[in-house]
Amino acid sequence: MVDRKDWAGWLEGPRKSLESQGIELGYPGERLGLPQEGPGSIARFGRRIAALMVDWFSALLIATAISNVSTLRVELNVLTLIVFLGHTAIFIAIFGSSFGHKLFRIEVKSLSGKRINLLQSVARQLMICLVVPAVIYDRDQRGLHDKALKLVATRV
């Protein structure tokens, strides 16, 4: 027999529906051995989106300055993407976080806890520029770009 609860489950979302069936999903990062809150926990979407916006805006400012003083005939949006890729990859490789990450207290590191190298950082940022790997994520709130490289964005 079909119950009203079965039909209304989709309104609450998949997590709530699974939990009502007795399936415990835990908190984001639990499977990775990370704490639920505080330093070392998974950086939530609000912080990560805000950091991304800060990084993109700073790349736009730099690209605008370059295009105003340069004789290069490159579209501003392409130049912004190149600047974004370059400056975030370099900052993440050197400091473990980009300018936006620093403002919102986020650090990118490998699952083993080590800092990532320049090649991993460039690969990660390339996948973010492709957008799709960054918006498909798992229950630990890690996008495909982080899963592919065995990385995690945590709070500092």
Contact 152, 34 (CB under 8 A): yes
Is residue 98 situated within a structural domain?
Answer: yes
Query: What is the share, in percent, of the chain residues with pLDDT greater than 70?
Result: 90
43: left (phi over 0), alpha (psi -120 to 50) or beta: beta
Residue 10 lies in a domain: no
Give the C-alpha separation, 80 to 61, whole Å.
8
Within a domain: residue 9? Answer: no
Residue 19 confidence (pLDDT) above 80:
no
Are 151 and 41 spatial neighbours (Cβ–Cβ below 8 Å)?
Answer: no
What's the domain range around 90? 28-155
User: Using 50, 70 and 90 to split pLDDT, how confident is the model at 4?
Assistant: low
Does residue 4 sit within a domain?
no
pLDDT at residue 18 is higher than 90: no
In this prediction, residue 127 carries a pLDDT of 96
pTM: 0.84
Number of domains in the chain: 1
